[in-house]
Structure formats: structure tokens, C-alpha cells
Structure 1
Amino acid sequence: MTAVIETQGLTKRYRGGQLAVDRLDLTVPAGSVFGFLGPNGSGKTTTIRMLMGLIEPTAGTATVLGKPMPRAVRTVLPQVGALIEGPALYGFLSGRDNLLRYDSADPSADPRTRRARVTTALDRVGLTQAAAKKAKAYSLGMKQRLGLAAALLQPRHLLVLDEPTNGLDPQGMREIRSLVRELAADGTTVFLSSHLLDEIEQVCTHAAVMAQGRLLTQGSVADLAAGARGRLAVTTPDPGDAARLLKELGVIEVSVEEDRVTGELPAKDVELAELNAALVRAGVRVRGFGIERASLEDAFVALTGEGFDVAG
């Protein structure tokens, strides 16, 4: 199987005419860590809910693990771990008892090894010390960890995570990032939706960008970032003079921050050596000069024309 998730013309229109997902053609390669990006209202969560068989599409098709969804939901979901829109927990039960309840609801789970599975899952997400505490006393970050533990009770071919680092501190984010890498190394395909572009760039091998229900682009993270143009960066003790001259030479969107001047090169070919020489001839003391590699955030802004909405 080369694609773990594949959609063709996937569309969801709600009552009243709202078009949430518009003819989505998405391909998630097997073994990838796939980042699903988009601002608030772009259709990410609606797409995930259709993929998991939680809602019916209006048109188009979706296959997960090679099976049509939602028709094959009973066959597919036992092979999928999912954390969507936050975990659903029993507040009056402890973290451990929540996982025991989840595991007992899985008809494929061997009851003889249930406690061992729960113990392992708690340890993987760093909740061993809080296992006896009632879930209603958990912080938001701890609840996210417990939901992730529930998704990891059994070996999974596919793990679907919607904002998995929501509520976590920086240390918790690093731990989840490390866990995602471990799972991918073991052969699990990870599909995660997040508004943290830096996190996506650090952990994902592939990504897709959505806006207003439509797919803008998809591919490897390296290729998406490479498609965005890098910015010229000049370090100098004469930032004002450097900024003024760069504007005269055609550099656009010039900005100054202390001793650092950055800008976007014009579409026409510009010889970098000539820019540097022009700065020196004008008496600008150049201490650093070069093109900064474009980031996934640069690619996102270039595609959508807007900053990333953290509420997404």
C-alpha cells in the first residue's frame, strides 16, 4: 500500500449551503508523518471526521488503509488510533481506569494483557505518576496525554491526531514530538493537524495546506519550503543606510530589527554579489550577508497571503 489515506473529490456541504470541504484530492503516503495545515475554518477537522467515518461526505470518495470510508468503518477503525477535538474522558475515573475502560471496549483486545497495555501506554506519555488521579483533576495538557495514551493502547497502522500538543508545556511538546518520531520509525503512519508550523516542520515528512475548504498544495515538507523564496538578510551596524539603499536597489518588504535588515528579492534575477558590492561602495559596513532558507511558515504565507490563525 503506497497511500494510507487517499481522497478524490471529497466534498462536505452542510445544511444552509455552507461548503466546508471542496473537492479535496489528498494523498498520505504510507510511513509518513503528515502535517495537515490550515487557518480557522479551512475544513481540516471536517475532513478528519469524514476520514474517520464520523460524518458522511456530500460527494467524492475516501479510502483509509485501502478501504472505502465510511462503508468499511468497522474494519478500518480497529487499526487506527485517533485523538480528535480533544479526548472524551470519564472525569470521575482515574487516568488508569479510563484507559482500562477504553481497552475493554475494544473487541480485539486480549483481556489477559489489558493491565500491561495500559501501564505501557501511561508510561509512553509520561502519566505513570498521575495514573491514580481522577481525570477531572487533570490539567488540559494531562488530558491530551491521556487521550494520546488511549490511542496507543494497541499497535496501530495509522495514528490520527488533531492538535496533539494543545495545552502542553515546551517539555511536553518535545516529548510528544519524540514519541511521534518513534511511532513513525516503527512503521506507523501519523496524520496530524496542528496550528504550530514550527512543530510541523520539525517532525513531519509531508504536509498539506488547506484554506476555505480547498487544498492549496501538498508534498514533502522540504519541497514545500523550497517552493517559497528565501529572504535576503544583512547584518550591519548601519541598518538605516542599508535599508534605504536596498529599497533603491529593488529589494521589497524591507524591515529593520536592531543590526539586522531583511527583505524580499524582486521577481527579476538579482546578482547577490552586486547587491553586496553596492552596500560596500556606499560605505555600509557589512558583517553578514546571505539568503535565509525559507521555512514552512514562509510557504504558508506565500500560499494563503495571510499569517497563520492560531485558532485553527
Structure 2
Amino acid sequence: MSTGAEVVGAAAPVAAGVTPVATGVAGGVKAGVAAQADGSVPAIATSGLSKRFRGGQLAVDTLDLAVPQGAVFGFLGPNGSGKTTTIRMLLGLITPTAGGCRLFGETVDASRVSTLTRVGALIEGPAHYPYLTGRANLARYDAADRTADPATRARRIDRALEQVGLGSAAEKKAKNYSLGMKQRLGLACALLQPRDLLILDEPTNGLDPQGMREIRSLITSLAAQGTTVFLSSHLLDEIEQVCTDVAIMSRGRLVSQGSVTQLRAGQRARLTVTTPDPADAARVLAEQGGTDVQVAGHRVDCDAREDLAPDVVCAALVASGVRVLAFGVERPSLEDAFVALTGEGFDVAG
């Protein structure tokens, strides 16, 4: 069996507004461990979680994280920012240097086995027996799960294969699977039993656009059934489409967490005008309260305050005799917010 990653479940033998974190999420995880508005505890809560490896490398630094039950939670950060190390600590695969973590209110180190019966996970990438078929691989994983009912094994394996789109390839040996098919098989392992929490590290790695769409649809459907999904990914467009909440890591530290909408709201939209009268347009935009007015040829744009109504600005341009060929609003993306918060591109090693 290859050893590049773990698929973790019960079978594992080892098992507020978005501002800088200091002022967001009501005091971090100490508030998050308490009951949520609906009376439930967070699906994941960490307090001062830290990991320092031999040689002094501080991979995760005092992480306070709160993941609401029922959320599709995006965990973002450049390479080396501490995401996978955090996930390994959440699942009890490595021991924190300091701090602690809870899953559904239970400490991972004290009650790991009982807690992990509620959790399915795919970490980093799939690891399978290459000379067994996809179906046989799932049977081996399921047989190792002390909580799994052998009488329902075949039915559950068929269901997991269909969920990830591998029904027609179930009898093919894993060594002949493409990277995307191996990724699907790893996800199927995590779905063999119903889970309250699904932790996925780069689940769309190696998938083509259609496969990514299918996995996105699967995540959405699981969330609709009440499963909390914790999703680590480099693909900001995917996160933006599927996640309700996000946290951003940079160089081992949490820099922000909150809803996707709140994170984007921290960045201003820009009004853009295409006109043969750029100087006049720039003047009117400034008069209307636009800031950071930029002129590039026939294009003029500016930052817009939250109370700056685009239709009012457009009417002011026309009333001032500016010939408006095009007018629009460029909304900030999750990538814009990420770069603004971290000052890094997504391929930077932290």
C-alpha cells in the first residue's frame, strides 16, 4: 500500500465579521466552544493549537478556530501555511505542541475513537492497494472499521462508488486508475458510513472540470443532509462557489475567519467607466465620493464607498456631459480578499 496520505474514519487505528482575527469571531475558540445560537457546540473548535517540529519549525502558531455545525467551511492558505498540519492534529494523527482541539465538544486526545466514528477524512491524497480493484479497496477499508456492519457492506460500497462516479470502474485495479479516479476512490472511502463531519484536503486534485463540478455538487448535497464539511483547497473559485464560511492561514497563523460574504465585504468594489472623456469622468467620480481614481486610456475606475449607489453615479456622469460607453461595478473576489489579508499569492511557501 502506498503511504503518501491517510483516509481517516472510524477505522483509523491511530487515530462575526471578518477582520483580523484578534477582533473577529468573538474572542476566537474560547467563545466558540460554548453553545452556538441553536444550542449546539461547534463541529470543530481549537484553542491555542500549536505545532513545532524538530529543528524548531513552527508550523501552526496558537490557532483559535471555530467551525459551526452544518457549515461548508473553507480552510485556505498558501503552501506551507499549516493547513495539513492542522488537519492532522484535528484527527489525532500528530500531537500538538501546545493547545488543544475538540470535535463536537469532545477533546480529540481523550476520546479519539468515539469521536472519529462521526468523522470521515481524506488527507493530502489517496493511498490505495494498487493490485486490488476499487471495490476491493473499499471492502478492506470497511472491514477495518470496528463500527461497520458487515451485513450492509456491499450495499454501502455500491452507494459510495456511485456517489463519487466510480460505479462503472469498480472492478478495475487501482493501479490503472487515473489521478482523478484515485482521488474519487479516496473520497469514497470517507463516505462508506454516514458522517457528521467530513474533512477533505484538496479533494478535487487531479480532477477535470466536469469531475470538479460533480464533487462540488456532492459536497453541497452532503451539507444539505446535515453533514459539516471542512474543505482545505488552493482553488479559490471552488471555495467561493461551495463554502458558507472560510478561514485563512498565513505562515502558520490564522489571519481571518468568517462567512464568505463577510470576507468579501471587507474589500471595496470598484466602479468602472469607459468613456472618450476620461478627465471629466475622473472629476465626476471624485465629486461623487469615489476614492483612488485611476485613469488608463478610455477607462476610469475608483473605489466605491458602501453608500455610493452605482445608478446615482452613472446619472451624475451623464448629467455632466460625460459620454458613457460602458459602466459597471467590479465586485471583490475571494482571491482579492485573500491577497489583501496575507499579502501573498497562493503559491508562496510560508
Aligned partner of 2:246 in structure 1 is 207
Aligned partner of 2:63 in structure 1 is 24
Aligned partner of 2:43 in structure 1 is 4
Q: Which moved more, 1:148-157 or 1:288-297?
A: 288-297
Whether 1:295 aligns to 2:333 is: yes
Offset of residue 74 of structure 1: 1.3
Q: Which runs of 5+ in 1 are unaligned?
A: none
Offset of residue 66 of structure 1: 1.6
Q: Which moved more, 1:7-16 or 1:67-76?
A: 67-76
Whether 1:82 aligns to 2:121 is: yes
Offset of residue 247 of structure 1: 12
Whether 1:183 aligns to 2:207 is: no
Aligned partner of 1:68 in structure 2 is 107
Q: Is the contact made by 2:196 and 2:228 (CA closer than 8 Å) also made in structure 1?
A: yes
Whether 1:170 aligns to 2:209 is: yes
Offset of residue 246 of structure 1: 7.2
Offset of residue 70 of structure 1: 2.6
**Map 1:258-297 → 2, pairs under 5 A:** 262-264=301-303, 285-297=323-335
Q: Is the contact made by 1:243 and 1:254 (CA closer than 8 Å) also made in structure 2?
A: no
Aligned partner of 1:130 in structure 2 is 169
Aligned residue identity for 1:133: K
Distance 1:248 1:5, change over 3 A: closer
Offset of residue 224 of structure 1: 1.1
Aligned residue identity for 2:193: Q
Q: Spell out, residue by residue over 1:210-249, the C-alpha distance to the aligned partner (whole angstroms, 9 max, x if none).
A: 1011111111111111122112222x264x9469947995
Identity %: 64
TM-score, length basis structure 1: 0.89
Q: Is the contact made by 2:80 and 2:349 (CA closer than 8 Å) also made in structure 1?
A: no
Whether 1:37 aligns to 2:80 is: no
Aligned partner of 2:23 in structure 1 is none
Q: CA RMSD in A?
A: 2.9
Q: Which runs of 5+ in 2 are unaligned?
A: 1-39
Distance 1:65 1:9, change over 3 A: same
| d(CA) in 1 for partners of 2:182, 2:151 | 26
Whether 1:308 aligns to 2:343 is: no
Distance 1:155 1:269, change over 3 A: closer
Offset of residue 208 of structure 1: 0.4
Aligned residue identity for 1:56: T
Offset of residue 131 of structure 1: 0.6
Whether 1:152 aligns to 2:194 is: no
Offset of residue 252 of structure 1: 3.7
Whether 1:220 aligns to 2:255 is: no
Q: Spell out, residue by residue over 1:92-123, the C-alpha distance to the aligned partner (whole angstroms, 9 max, x if none).
A: 11111100111111011111111111011000
Three-state SS of the structure 2 residue aligned to 1:107 is: coil
TM-score, length basis structure 2: 0.80
